[in-house]
Each structure stands twice: as C-alpha cells, then as structure tokens.
Amino acid sequence: MSKVLVVKAHPFSEEYSRTMKVTNAFLKSYREHHPDDEIKEIHLYDITIPEIDRDLLEAWNKLNQKVPFYALSIEQQHKVTLFDSFTASFLEKDKVVIANPLWNLSVPTRLKAWIDTITVAGKTFKYTDQGSVGLLEGKKALHIQSSGSVYNGSDPASQYVKTLFTFLGFKDFQQLFVEGMDHFPERAEDIMEEAIKKAVEIGKTF
C-alpha cells in the first residue's frame, strides 16, 4: 500500500477550474486501480500555509542557538509547529501529486509557500562537500498544470516545480500539461478531453 499526497493549488473546484477537473479525473482513475492506497488531499486555499517570515526566521535562529522551544513567543511556536507538520506529512508519503494553474508565468503563491515547507535542509536534502544532495529517492511525483497558452514545459512555473523535485531526489517525475484553451478557444473542449484521457491513463499506473 502506498501513501499519496495530492496538493490542490487552486481556489476553485472543478466546476470552474480546468486544473481541478483534470486532477479529479486522474484521482478517480487512480482510486479505481489502486483501491488499497491511502490518499490525502490538501486544498491550499482552504488551509493556512505558514510563510517564511520574520517570526519563523527568528525562531529558527533561536532554536539553532539552543534556545528552548518554550522560550519562543506563542506566535513563533505556532508557526514552527505548523511548518514542521507540513514537512512531516510530506515525508511520510510515497507519491505526490501537485496540481496548479499557470498564473503570470509562475505558480500560485500558496503553492510556493507549501513548497518552502518541504524544502528543508537535513530532512529533504543535505549539504555535502560535492554540493546539495536530495534525500527523497524512491518517491514518485506527478505535476498537473493548466495554462491558457502553449508552453510545452518551457514555462518558468513547470521548470521550477521539476527542478525543485529533482533537487529533492525524485527520479520518477511526470508532468501533465493542459494547455492552449484560451489561445485556441475553438479547440478548448478537445484539449480538455485529451488531457482527461491522459490523466485517466496515468492514474492506472502511477
């Protein structure tokens, strides 16, 4: 049995979001073909994601100086605990699915904040004499991204996600792009239909 984390980085459901429509098609297929797997979905626009701010930076600095956790401010304790909970949840998963729209050539800000919680020295990567080394070999990731134009994986957002997961040690990294619906509105339905078919197929073997 595998543990799967699905990160939904869009404020809308599939009723309005093409990203979520394709992602849900993947999930339906995945559940049918992996009935024993444990799936956890997190909706980044329905929860609080701790951003790396002054509280967190000061708290980490104090903890590195051996200041006891209880000596931190209440706000710092809360943010450190919340940040660490996202890291721990990610570490225990075998497979990860990231689903987001391309916004202004980047990922949504809440996805960036979540990614910061999984990029942690000593836990998901380490520093060595030869450079940084990812610690998460053996895990699988799927990145689903929709965009109005066609980029074929050359956009900064998909490059960022791919680079980050490769940095963390992922060798099995797949991407599913849903592109061109706004640039080619007359083909929008066909583009979505093709993307859903691909999502269903990936769900069978992911």
Q: Give the pLDDT of residue 90.
A: 98
* Rounded Cα–Cα distance for residues 90 and 114 (Å): 10
Q: What is the mean pLDDT of residues 4-8?
A: 98
162 pLDDT tier (thresholds 50, 70, 90):
very high
- Dump pLDDT digits (tens) for 42-74: 999 999 999 999 999 999 999 999 999 999 999
Tell me what pLDDT residue 120 has: 97
Per the structure, the complete domain to which residue 189 belongs is given by: 3-205
- pLDDT of 18 reads 95
Strand 3-8 versus strand 172-179 pairing type: unpaired
Q: Are 168 and 123 in contact (CB under 8 A)?
A: no
Beta carbons of 206 and 4 less than 8 angstroms apart: no
> The pTM is what?
0.95
How is 132-188 classified by DSSP, letter by letter?
EEES-TT-EEEEEEEESS--TT-SHHHHHHHHHHHHTT-SEEEEEEEE-TTTSGGGH
Q: How confident is the model at residue 37 (pLDDT cuts 50, 70, 90)?
A: very high
First to last CA, the chain: 13
Query: What gap in Å lies between CA 34 and CA 178, rounded to an integer?
Result: 24
pLDDT, tens only, 111-134: 999 999 999 999 999 999 989 999
Percent of the chain residues past pLDDT 70, beyond the cut: 100
CA dist., res. 193 & res. 180, Å (int): 13
Looking at the structure of the chain, the number of domains it has is 1
Q: Which CATH number belongs to the domain containing residue 171 in this structure?
A: 3.40.50.360
pLDDT in tens, 167-203: 999 999 999 999 999 999 999 999 999 999 999 999 9
